[in-house]
A = this chain, B = another copy of it.
Amino acid sequence: MDPYPKPLRTLIKELRRLPGIGEKSATRLALYILADKRGLKDGLISALEDVRKVSLCPQCFNLTDQATCAICADTGRDDATICVVEEPSDILALESAHEYKGRYHVLHGLVSPINGIGPDDIKLKELVERLQAPIKEVLIALSPSVEGDVTAQYISKLVCEAGLNVSLSRLASGIPMGGEIKYMDQVTIASAIRYRRTIRENV
């Protein structure tokens, strides 16, 4: 005997489709939504409907509900630098650092032969097209992983083949701020040693 009515069951089933939400969490959320008297149902419904208005910026492929995204529309940013990221959410993280003032390019994935994702499945062709304009630097802000490395090498190859006069850089990898060396993995430590910064030149 299932003591829950069908509409509640259906809501639980739909909530379970969300990442990281299991049967117990979905039930708790559904019962909370059901009991809510402060417009949560209406708020969620209208937010879910409105989110359909979000599409990709035709220039950088960031998320936007306008003709171009907020960053592409900002005339105060440096047009000569493009930062290449995997996902739109990476832009949020980079922007929160207030360190970068150029443009972005979202690949929407990484080259991953093991997952059958080739260079044509992500926005690489579109990146090379953008590099026809006078761009000074491409900052590759992809995660330091096998896929990130493969994709970075691929971008480097494309830039070479196109004979473009553009410098490429990658985010530094090393010990994160507040990270304790004794708890770091070997690859991070190896990378931090390999790319060590000189703080005093032996003159």
> Interface on A for B, CB 8 Å cutoff?
1-8, 10-11, 13-15, 17-21, 25, 27-34, 40-41, 43-45, 47-54, 62-66, 69-71, 74, 87-89, 91-92, 95
Which residues from chain B contact A10 at a C-beta distance below 8 Å?
47, 50-51
Task: Decide if A65 touches B5 in the complex (CB within 8 Å).
Answer: yes
The A contact surface, by secondary structure, is: helix
Task: Decide if A51 touches B30 in the complex (CB within 8 Å).
Answer: yes
Contact of A11 among B6, B34, B48, B91 (CB under 8 A): B48
Of the candidates A4, A41, A66, the one having the most CB atoms from chain B within 10 angstroms of its own CB is A4
CA distance A106 to B15 in the complex (A): 25
CA distance A125 to B5 in the complex (A): 25
Copies per complex of this chain: 2
Which residues from chain B contact A87 at a C-beta distance below 8 Å?
31
Q: What are 29 contact pairs spanning A and B, CB under 8 A?
A: A1-B71, A2-B70, A3-B62, A3-B63, A3-B71, A3-B91, A5-B53, A5-B54, A5-B66, A5-B70, A7-B51, A7-B53, A7-B54, A8-B54, A10-B51, A11-B47, A14-B40, A15-B44, A17-B40, A17-B43, A19-B28, A19-B29, A19-B32, A31-B89, A33-B48, A34-B63, A41-B51, A45-B48, A45-B49
CA distance A27 to B173 in the complex (A): 25
Task: Decide if B20 touches A65 in the complex (CB within 8 Å).
Answer: no
